[in-house]
Chains A and B, each alone.
Chain A
């Protein structure tokens, strides 16, 4: 079994290194194919492991070697494949494989083709470490590793100022959160004496509540960064500067869910501190609504999807925070499938539209790009949570959880968000694929993507549709280690009312979106319409002025403060003091050297102290 584990873990690394070999040379297909194949291998291994874990209920645990050992600290490179991590492994390898294959087509014309695959595989490797590690330190390796790869990939088109800026933003923001994570790890170590999940969680119940609370808070801060929770969310939208497969893989399916994974992984901890859980859930709900609201008006296709991702992450946190870890994980999985699909579809559209992102400039693409149209529509339906697609099973479950746990505010928020989700998803679909062929005004001749790209997407499509079917099997498996709370509304009537009500609400939202955005008089907004001048619109399109706030009240002051530190303090105070001291001596000498006039009389006088 260890063989499969290592295969699953290391084949992406091998793929990455392989592609890296061609890093500086000309684009070569093989640099894309080999990593993809290796990822396939990893997928197969993961699948075998899944089957194993699923069937036997055992988990595979290996310790490869010691990483750090000093004093009482002992950190091995240990990997564990248990019910939780295997789910993540499946998600990661599956989506990655799809994205890899897709990217062979998508990045076809890009000069950095080889480099791209190297980065992408490296990302998968980091992600695998993240999910498979059996200790916090290993998790942190993956955590930072995915951050690095995300930086590389967001800034893949480094010649674009915005891309490199976004990459740095993402990295730094993640770093802020990572600090919290690091502190959390320190806390774990000094209070439990180990960083191994198993031992650490075993000790935790005996620890002081305050300490646990702090641990919970700091670890969650880490999660907030990776999962782009408020207020560290701005990087995610900006991260859309990266190539679309990257957005699909990293900024939708896998990396951003690492935070959720962390909370799920640390469930024994969060179980002990329900107050923090509620906070997490509340924040999640808030982010869900908050992000969805921004998605309503955004005019950048990818950003809309990014906000939607953000919103869905909010759902996951809401679930995890309320103790429904398995639900969170389930939504994570389902979301990975349809969101990746959505992104890849968006990628096709972008390709077709020559990197045009404004859906108002598209319209009617459904005729040209049938496959993409279908896929994106289904993905959107899944996202909206329409029965029987994946989204329904996972998202409705979260609503139920909120309801059952009597967090009605959270429930209401999430419900509202579900409607918004449906609205903006179909706003997008409507704007892109229906209506007038507005793109013609811009002289673009869209075309469908490569066949194999669509084929590559198809597994996701299938899963987006049927993932809900795995629910029971999944439940049975993960509850080996996650709290097996089932969430059932007490009366069947309530249940049905709720479910159908939700469905109707969502469908209504979809219908409204369709109605509103398929109409013929949709024009490319030019900033003159009444709506565009309304306060709400401005607030939303400017993302609640948060980036503006960050730029003006954090980044700029930091830059200015740095400048002041350097020019004013370092040079004018610290260094000037040092030079000043030296100068005092020198000047004293220079001033008093006239005493040595060379005149004997003065000399004699000085001899008398006069």
Chain B
């Protein structure tokens, strides 16, 4: 019963928040709603016993992602109302229908594979974090490492793109300008 109440409560909250996030014209509202929705989602994770995920969700989304977005928002100066020209309303209508159809599909055909045994069964007697750690560093070691590479890539990408490197086009600059630029850089490095 508690589960049901919690589920419906959070479901309502997440849906509301996300709905606000995609419909409001105030960027700040959107951001706030999104952050709230993310946190509410973590609640589901906790309900489902995926504590580790819940923690990660809060840390990564509410912490890192939202911080980034907030930074971006300030940078882009989109705190004021965002005017968006709207396309036709049929889009939303169409998508709603699509969603409805999907829902019907899912309701009308309840999961049959209830008895499927997982590859990495959740054990009763261990904490979720421990178990996740166990699996992550055995079976999912490679994806984990690749994810590390991916984050590195993202980092480099962020630096390259957002840093000063893209400010000037070396393609179009003359040789002399580049030389001057280089000298300045070395100067800066020394100072």
Contact = CB atoms under 8 A, between A and B. Distances in A.
Interface of A: 601, 605, 608, 610
9 contacts: A601-B87, A605-B87, A605-B91, A608-B95, A608-B98, A610-B90, A610-B91, A610-B94, A610-B95
B23 to A, nearest CB: 16
Given A605-B87, A610-B94, A610-B95, 4 more contacts: A601-B87, A605-B91, A608-B98, A610-B90
Contacts of A610: 90-91, 94-95
Interface in B93-115: 94-95, 98
A610 B97 CA distance: 12
B21 to A, nearest CB: 17
B108 to A, nearest CB: 22
Interface of B: 87, 90-91, 94-95, 98
A610 B95 CA distance: 9
Nearest to B91: A610
B100 to A, nearest CB: 15
A313 to B, nearest CB: 88
A608 B98 CA distance: 10
A468 B86 CA distance: 113
A601 B87 CA distance: 9
Nearest to B95: A608
Contacts of A608: 95, 98
Nearest to B87: A601
A597 to B, nearest CB: 11
A352 B95 CA distance: 104
A608 to B, nearest CB: 7
A605 B95 CA distance: 10
Contacts of B94: 610
A38 B189 CA distance: 113
B169 to A, nearest CB: 22
A65 B145 CA distance: 92
Contacts of B98: 608
A349 to B, nearest CB: 97
B83 to A, nearest CB: 15
Leading 7 A-B pairs by shortest Cβ distance: A610-B94, A610-B91, A601-B87, A605-B91, A608-B95, A605-B87, A610-B90
Nearest to A601: B87
B105 to A, nearest CB: 17
A101 B48 CA distance: 125
A605 B87 CA distance: 10
A598 to B, nearest CB: 15
A610 B94 CA distance: 8
B76 to A, nearest CB: 16
B170 to A, nearest CB: 27
A608 B94 CA distance: 10
B22 to A, nearest CB: 13
A608 B91 CA distance: 10
A381 B4 CA distance: 134
Contacts of A601: 87
Contacts of B91: 605, 610
A486 B94 CA distance: 105
Contacts of B87: 601, 605
Contacts of A605: 87, 91
Nearest to A599: B87
A601 B91 CA distance: 11
B102 to A, nearest CB: 13
A259 to B, nearest CB: 84
A608 B95 CA distance: 9
A605 B88 CA distance: 11
A605 B94 CA distance: 11
Contacts of B90: 610
A594 to B, nearest CB: 15
B85 to A, nearest CB: 9
A193 B90 CA distance: 81
B128 to A, nearest CB: 36
B84 to A, nearest CB: 10
A351 B157 CA distance: 106
A610 B87 CA distance: 12
B53 to A, nearest CB: 29
A605 B91 CA distance: 8
B94 to A, nearest CB: 6
Contacts of B95: 608, 610
B99 to A, nearest CB: 12
A609 to B, nearest CB: 9
B150 to A, nearest CB: 23
A608 B90 CA distance: 13
A601 B98 CA distance: 18
B136 to A, nearest CB: 33
A601 to B, nearest CB: 6
A605 B98 CA distance: 13
A38 B94 CA distance: 100
A601 B90 CA distance: 14
A601 B88 CA distance: 12
Nearest to A602: B87
A431 to B, nearest CB: 97
A601 B94 CA distance: 15
Nearest to B85: A601
A599 B87 CA distance: 12
A585 B17 CA distance: 48
A488 B94 CA distance: 108
B70 to A, nearest CB: 23
